[in-house]
Amino acid sequence: MGRELLVREAKAAALARMEDAARTESEFKAVVTQWNHNDKNRERRERYHEIGRPNAEMLHWDRQDPNDEKGKMKDELVTVIPRPLDHEWWRQQLRGDFIDTIFDCPHELHELIGDAPISKLLYDLSENQKEILYYSAIRQHSNARIAARRKQTDRNIRKTLALLLKTTREKLAAQTRYNISNGLHITHVQRAFLLWYDEENAKTIDSGDNR
């Protein structure tokens, strides 16, 4: 432990000397490159301790094709065939992370989100909105399947989901702009979302003017 501390201190001192000695553009670029390298190493170490939801849907997969990474889901086999052992769901269980399992429910949807503003937006949704969003975004069910579950029409589900996404994005964009105007920190993802949202709004306005 003492040796590792000495190594870190020596590297920090060397970087400080590089910064003090930098005079030309190439020397400043070398300093930036070293900082980027240090940041990547730090982020990699932090990821070892992070608990996150993967992009893959958290479903009970019935893998029929061994070459198929995800497989398909069969309703009648959900309670019979468990998720494959290499699925992220089991990896979380083996790590002692039971958050996705405990809150794998439409009415606890906000507990699956680590971002506080987004979690608050989901918490404020009605129970019907939470259910539709859960089965659409988390379980990746089609609108027709959600409609059959709720005994509604496919068109009704599409309209409800479209309105839900529209109002949620409006609130999130307003919250992000508020954070920027007040000098609060925002993530790269939030900044990218705001740029995308403004571009989509500009397209909508342009299409409306051209009618």
Q: Is the pTM of this model over 0.85?
A: no
Which CATH number applies to 103-185: 2.60.40, 1.10.150, 1.10.10, 3.30.300? Answer: 1.10.10
Inform me whether the pLDDT recorded for 196 exceeds 80: yes
Residue spans per domain, the chain: 2-47, 52-96, 103-185
Q: Residue 144 carries which side chain, given as an amino acid letter?
A: A
Contacts of 192 (CB under 8 A, 6+ apart): none
Determine the Cα–Cα distance for residues 162 and 175; give it in Å rounded to an integer: 20
Decide which of 55 and 137 is more confident: 137
Contacts of 157 (CB under 8 A, 6+ apart): 132, 143, 146, 147, 150
Inform me whether the pLDDT recorded for 182 exceeds 80: yes
- Over residues 110-132, the pLDDT tens digits come to 887 877 888 888 889 889 999 99
Inform me whether the pLDDT recorded for 204 exceeds 80: no
Average pLDDT along the chain: 77
